[in-house]
Every structure is written in structure tokens, then in C-alpha cells.
């Protein structure tokens, strides 16, 4: 009985920690993560010949938010869905971001089912789509593009990129990211989840984020007393 009560308190402490984290994503702009954010993005990715849909089973492994990812099925053509001007996006890229619409890093998780390559493209007010990341082959030779992995992600992989380090045209500050393209290209489909812009190098959506650990440590201390 005593054990059960203790476990219950611990579980509650964990939930409190996670909820606190979800509500307290300071300095972050979540593009997709939970189901609501994915449904919202799917409505806005109105361009391209990919067949976009909500994926509820094959999701980024650390998902704790209702099991949802974006799936772009390849059906010929450009094999992507995108929008160069996402409604309501106010994303200013700064070396030392402080304001609530200022960011330096992007974290994204992706997976590829079949085919040779996958790409994520960011549209800015400078050089339009000239800010791209790919894994595997650059299937359509869309450049500039940074290859983050030589092989396609056959299992979910997460990457954090420093936009100031990666892109000369963004590193003077004050430039704006206005849109995004989820590019599956070839094979069967591309999957994306856990896409977030942030101010400091740590992935703000990671369950192991420092914040949660600190909060849990406090709860542990309280339990012990």
C-alpha cells in the first residue's frame, strides 16, 4: 500500500513536470508536434504534388502528445508539400535571440520510407528557398542544401541546426523565415515530426530537457521529506 502511494505520487510529479514543460516553451516556436499543430500545418501546406496526411502510428519515438506526425506520400511530380508564406509566421533569425519572435536554431525529426533522399526547405525573405537540409541523395539537385546524413533516415532521426552558422544570408540578423517545404521526393513517403524553432541549442521539445529534470529533482526532494 505504501509502495503504491509512493508510485502514485511519483507518477503525479512526472505528469506535473511534463505539463509544466509543455506550457512553458519559452523562446520556442513549435511548427509541428502534437495533433492540433499537425492538423493546422496540413491545412496551410497547400502547394505541391505530395499527398499530405496526418500520420497517427509512425511517429517520432519520444512523442508524448497524442501520437501524430506529418506524412507526405509520394505520387509523382515534386513529391512535396509546401507554403512559402505560412500565415501568422513571425520568425526573425538572430545571433542572440531575445524577443519572442526571434530564433537561431531549428530542430526537426524525420523518417523516409523507400527512395534515395529527403529534404526540408526553409523559405526566407532573402534568397527564397535557399536554406535546405537533405539526407541521402539530393534527388532533384535543389541547392544550396546541407547534407545532414549520407543515408536516408530509415528510422526516425532528429537533427538540430544552427541557422546562423549554416546560412550566410541569415547571419547578419533581422532576416525572416516565412515558409517551409516538406520534401519526400521519391520512394513511398516522408515523415516529419517534432519541428521547432528555438533560441538556445537545446531541443526544447525533448522530454529529457534540463527544465523537466530540474523540476523532477525538486519534486523528489519534496517527496523524500
Q: Using CB under 5 A, list all residues that contact Ca ion.
A: 33, 63, 65, 68, 193
The DSSP bridge pattern shows strands 105-113 and 157-162 to be: antiparallel
Q: How far is the CB of 53 from Ca ion (least distance, A)?
A: 14
Cβ proximity to Ca ion: between 65 and 186 the closer is 65
User: Cα separation of 20 and 212, whole Å?
Assistant: 8
Preceding omega of 75 cis (within 30 degrees of 0): no
Cβ proximity to Ca ion: between 186 and 193 the closer is 193
Q: How far is the CB of 67 from Ca ion (least distance, A)?
A: 7
Cell (9 digits) for 7: 508510485
User: Cα separation of 104 and 110, whole Å?
Assistant: 20
User: Cα separation of 158 and 135, whole Å?
Assistant: 12
Q: How far is the CB of 38 from Ca ion (least distance, A)?
A: 7
Cβ proximity to Ca ion: between 33 and 94 the closer is 33
Cβ proximity to Ca ion: between 33 and 186 the closer is 33
User: Cα separation of 182 and 84, whole Å?
Assistant: 11
Amino acid at each position: 500500500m505504501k509502495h503504491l502511494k509512493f508510485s502514485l505520487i511519483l507518477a503525479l510529479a512526472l505528469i506535473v513536470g511534463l505539463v509544466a514543460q509543455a506550457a512553458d516553451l519559452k523562446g520556442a516556436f513549435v511548427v509541428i508536434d502534437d495533433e492540433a499543430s499537425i492538423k493546422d500545418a496540413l491545412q496551410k501546406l497547400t502547394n505541391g504534388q505530395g499527398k499530405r496526411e496526418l500520420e497517427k502510428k509512425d511517429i517520432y519515438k519520444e512523442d508524448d502528445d497524442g501520437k501524430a506526425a506529418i506524412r507526405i506520400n509520394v505520387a509523382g511530380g515534386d513529391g512535396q508539400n509546401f507554403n512559402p508564406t505560412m500565415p501568422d509566421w513571425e520568425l526573425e533569425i538572430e545571433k542572440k535571440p531575445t524577443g519572442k519572435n526571434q530564433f537561431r536554431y531549428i530542430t526537426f525529426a524525420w523518417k523516409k520510407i523507400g527512395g534515395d533522399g529527403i529534404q526540408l526547405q526553409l523559405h526566407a525573405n532573402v534568397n527564397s528557398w535557399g536554406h535546405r537540409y537533405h539526407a541521402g541523395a539530393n534527388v532533384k539537385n535543389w541547392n544550396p542544401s546541407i547534407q545532414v546524413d549520407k543515408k536516408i533516415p530509415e528510422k526516425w532521426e532528429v537533427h538540430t541546426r544552427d541557422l546562423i552558422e549554416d546560412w550566410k544570408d541569415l547571419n547578419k540578423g533581422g532576416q525572416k523565415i516565412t515558409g517551409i517545404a516538406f520534401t519526400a521526393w521519391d520512394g513511398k513517403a516522408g515523415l516529419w515530426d517534432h519541428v521547432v524553432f528555438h533560441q538556445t541549442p537545446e531541443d526544447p521539445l525533448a522530454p529529457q530537457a534540463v527544465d523537466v529534470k530540474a523540476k523532477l529533482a525538486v519534486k523528489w526532494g519534496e517527496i523524500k521529506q
